[in-house]
Structure 1
Amino acid sequence: MPGDRQPPAEMKRLSAAPDDDSSSTNSNDFQYSGFVKKVPLDGQYPDLDAESQNFLPEVNSGKKKYETEYHQGSASFGMSVFNLGNAIMGSGILGLSWAMANTGIALFVILLVAVAVFSLYSVHLLLKTANEGGARVYEELGQKAFGFPGKLAASCAITMQNIGAMSSYLYIIKYELPIVIQAFTGANNDEWYINGDYLVLLVSLSIILPLSLLRNLGYLGYTSGLSLLCMVFFLIVVIIKKFQIPCPLPMPESSNETAHRMNASFSSVNSTDDEDTCTPKYVVFNSQTVYALPILIFAFVCHPTILPMYEELKDRSRRKMQNVANVSFLAMFVMYLLAAVFGYLTFNIHVEAELLHTYSRFYKKDVLLLVVRLAVLAAVTLTVPVVLFPIRTSVSHLLCPNKDFSWIRHIIITMVLLGGTNLLVIFVPTIKDIFCFFGASAASMLIFILPSAFYIKLVKKEPINSKQKIGAILFLIGGIVVMVGSMSLIIVDWAMNSGGGDDGH
């Protein structure tokens, strides 16, 4: 009888729900769980309009829905943690010791904990909004929340953040490759192939551009794992060198012209000649302290990858993905804290904004450090095309959303993006400015402002005066204050120091 078969059917519907957390499910969860269009990481973002959303179940799709739900998502919990760790970890780790030198250990730890906690809270907002809005792409959430302006804001923030990441990788090539070449060739400072500007252009044209022009970069996805391993290796060396490098530091070894331009600007902690530079400071305030928070924000941003990873999570639920984020953020928090503490304790006020380069001032020919440089250079060189890929995809989707693939358009966008980033690396004097500018602007948008705005707009079942909505509103206001305040202070510092001439990195 039909009445006898109805309870199992209801149980099947409940068991097929995508979220085991009752606080995050509503009627929309069931509608989207089996029909959300998957977005491959290496494909074009779909321009999903109302007609393609499948808001209502198909008439004869019972078996089809079950098979779709059964097969969707293949990433295990452990692999998802590893992938999210890869997304979080990046070049930002190289600037944390400098941030600690300009805040002190105690203030730095407070800021690090605050940024990590707030980043996790924004992940919570994103996941809950994704369930309510039925979207698995950041730009799509913007589209659903605010129409084209929301989609444009999300796309621009992601593009800016990726350009910042790509610029920081090219900065590493610019300042580390000359040291490696000198170590192997013994070239003097006057050789053209020791000039970092020439080298970053040469590497971009000979290696990065050909790889970036490929239509499918799937096989380069393994470089994210290589990059993470290189940073773990870097962290181990930082800890080891803390116990090998004496304090006070020895006189700096002779360096190339590029390094000479970089030496002066990063001993920025206020000090006097008679100050004990071997004694760590716990609270520091100076003109450079304002840069610390944007650097930390830049180091933790990974939010555009949260929703695609959620889509690919096996047996996914909001609670399970939140646990993935908790474990990943905790692991990265520990790595960041260790790298910052041991790097700072090694060099104290002499630490530079790019920690790896600081070692070259004192131990330029150290074999272990040379191996670290080679590993990091290989990782960042192969990672640049991977970072450029979603930027090009987003730009193509914004400019030509309904057009077929064109090699001419593909090549032009690639060359414009890579050429513009190279110009940024050549003419912007310090990697610190890259970290801080993109951390204060794009990263603040992705962590604070957009997730809370999407949550407030799309989560309808919670009234505006509920604790959840009030918390999101306060988070939004706090993000705006952080972004505007940080950018204003950074611009003021740039204006005050522009007349003195910047020495570079």
Structure 2
Amino acid sequence: MKTEIDNTTVQSEGGYRAEEDGDETTTLLGQDGQVSSGSSSFMFSVFNLMNAIMGSGILGLAYAMASTGIVTFSILLLLVSSLAAYSVHLLLTLCDQTGLSSYEGLGERAFSKAGKVLVACTILIQNIGAMATYMFILKMELPPTISSFIKAEHSGVWYENGVDLLILATVCVVLPLALLPKIGFLGYSSSLSFFFMLFFAVVVVVKKWSVPCPLPVNSTLTLQISNSSVSDCNARLFIFSSKSAYAIPTMAFSFLCHTAVLPIYCELQRPTKQRMQKVANVSISLSFLVYLVSALFGYLTFYGQVDSELLRGYDVYLPHDVLVMSVRLAILLAVLLTVPLIHFPARKAMLTLFRGERPFSWLSHCVSTFVLIIIIELLAIYVPDIRNVFGVVGSTTSTCLLFVYPALFYLRVNNDRTRNSKFIGAVALMVFGVFVGLLSLSVIIISWAQAS
């Protein structure tokens, strides 16, 4: 690999990178030495990154607000989203300094081959866990959603079989999208996924006035969700309890998109550090607004009785409501469309581990795609409670990719130890990441102990 930083060209797997004086003119160059223009527009890049950010975790944010209070939740959500944007900034800064355009490459620059292997394994484990969890959700939730939507009686028809629906969705949706050669091509499906999430937020706002307060007495729901009074309709601004510990990991993982940042950066039209930072800022800001609105109105609908999965409350108090059934289907479709996007960095990590820096090959591309999908399908079908299986792994790998690795790599690559703002920010980000990881692990262990 050729590396010359001052006013020259740096070769990496993402092509050639020119570095002029000042950040504003730093661009990605193609193999012919001309300025590279990727296939993905600014808006499609925003949609792709938002699709990587938002998933089924949006259903748990109202419960997080009920555990922390409106003001505390808002402050924590703003803090976590700001730190996520800052960690993206550190990744892009490293790309700008080193000329590398992959997470694995940054790991290799910081810690030689061991760092590259560590990052690739972390991405692979985290993304396989996330995709398998999403597929498991589809297997469990899609059949009852379709049955309730068409008001069908249980009669053993094919669409009541979760495994059949999962295989059908994989063959018809996930596989064709995952086989695409570039992540930028997913802009259309990602925009559709974003509008599904936006539809969810709008329905939560509208249904705030459809559920009466005080809530009707329902012993099953009350025992499952809360020990608070059924007539409690007062929103609380600050709450500090043992349940508050669950909120921070939920919010932290709701902004995990860092494995997709650099692939999207490589395919951005007129790619510059500042342009990609704008993509990240817009994506995180819009996700923040959708998260905050849906969490706020979900909490103001059920108050202390909000469920850990928001839509369950509507199923009890608004059974067979067309909008609620539609939004449940929309969320499942959004989750389905997120799987191919997560698949791209997972496949990239797998190819990095087994093929190194060899040129693109359609054979390797297709084989790795099929292998990953088969692994994910088997996990989703045969593991009885996959969310618990990947709980510990997800809490550690997600925290590393979101907070710890960007900060650690920045501190390692930049030998200047003067206490400047970026150095202090990187240290603070790493400390916060370790704290969130340990907290997440503790929460999972405590949950298992209470359930046993």
TM-score class normalised by the smaller sequence: 0.7 to 0.9
Contact 2:44 2:191 in 1 (8 A): no
Q: Structure 1 CA distance, aligned partners of 2:275 and 2:368?
A: 40
Aligned to 2:199: 233
The answer on 1:459 being equivalent to 2:422 is: no
CA shift at 1:400, angstroms? 4.9
The answer on 1:498 being equivalent to 2:451 is: yes
Aligned to 2:292: 337
Distance change in 2, residues 1:77/1:185 (3 Å) = closer
Secondary structure at the counterpart of residue 71 of structure 1: coil
* Partner residue of 1:208 out of 170, 193, 218: 170
Distance change in 2, residues 1:27/1:392 (3 Å) = closer
How far does the alpha carbon of each residue in 1:76-105 deviate from its partner, in whole angstroms, 9 at most, with x for none?
Answer: 444433333233222221111111111121
- Structure 1, 149-158 or 95-104: larger mean CA deviation: 149-158
Q: Structure 1 CA distance, aligned partners of 2:265 and 2:70?
A: 35
Secondary structure at the counterpart of residue 242 of structure 2: coil
Q: Please, what TM-score do these two structures have when normalized by structure 1?
A: 0.75
CA shift at 1:304, angstroms? 1.7
- Structure 1, 86-95 or 306-315: larger mean CA deviation: 306-315
Q: Structure 1 CA distance, aligned partners of 2:350 and 2:4?
A: 34
Query: Residue 28 of structure 1 aligns to which amino acid in structure 2?
Result: I
Distance change in 2, residues 1:125/1:248 (3 Å) = same
Aligned to 2:14: 38
How far does the alpha carbon of each residue in 1:107-155 deviate from its partner, in whole angstroms, 9 at most, with x for none?
Answer: 2112101101111111111111111121111111112211232123322
How far does the alpha carbon of each residue in 1:254-285 deviate from its partner, in whole angstroms, 9 at most, with x for none?
Answer: xxxxxx8xx578515xx344x64211222223
Secondary structure at the counterpart of residue 68 of structure 2: coil
* Partner residue of 2:150 out of 164, 168, 184: 184
Contact 1:164 1:435 in 2 (8 A): yes
| Sequence identity percentage | 36
* Partner residue of 2:180 out of 193, 201, 217: 217
Distance change in 2, residues 1:73/1:211 (3 Å) = closer
- Structure 1, 366-375 or 243-252: larger mean CA deviation: 243-252
Tell me, which stretches of 5 or more residues in structure 1 are unaligned?
A: 1-25, 40-51, 56-63, 254-259, 500-505
Secondary structure at the counterpart of residue 236 of structure 2: coil
How far does the alpha carbon of each residue in 1:270-322 deviate from its partner, in whole angstroms, 9 at most, with x for none?
Answer: x344x642112222233332221111111111112222333333444323332
Tell me, which stretches of 5 or more residues in structure 2 are unaligned?
A: 20-28
> What's the C-alpha RMSD, in Å, of the aligned pairs?
3.5
Aligned to 1:112: 77
Contact 1:136 1:307 in 2 (8 A): yes
Q: Please, what TM-score do these two structures have when normalized by structure 2?
A: 0.83
Q: Structure 1 CA distance, aligned partners of 2:52 and 2:369?
A: 25
How far does the alpha carbon of each residue in 1:234-256 deviate from its partner, in whole angstroms, 9 at most, with x for none?
Answer: 11111000122211223569xxx
Secondary structure at the counterpart of residue 377 of structure 1: helix
Structure showing greater Rg: 1
Distance change in 2, residues 1:88/1:135 (3 Å) = same
Task: Report the number of matched residues.
Answer: 432
Q: How does 1:68-467 map to 2 (within 5 A)?
A: 68-73=33-38, 75-173=40-138, 174-188=140-154, 198-199=161-162, 201-209=163-171, 212-213=174-175, 216-217=179-180, 222-250=188-216, 267-268=225-226, 271-273=227-229, 276-401=231-356, 405=363, 411-424=370-383, 426-428=384-386, 437=392, 440-460=395-415, 462-467=416-421
How far does the alpha carbon of each residue in 1:321-369 deviate from its partner, in whole angstroms, 9 at most, with x for none?
Answer: 3233222222211111001000111112222222223311221211112
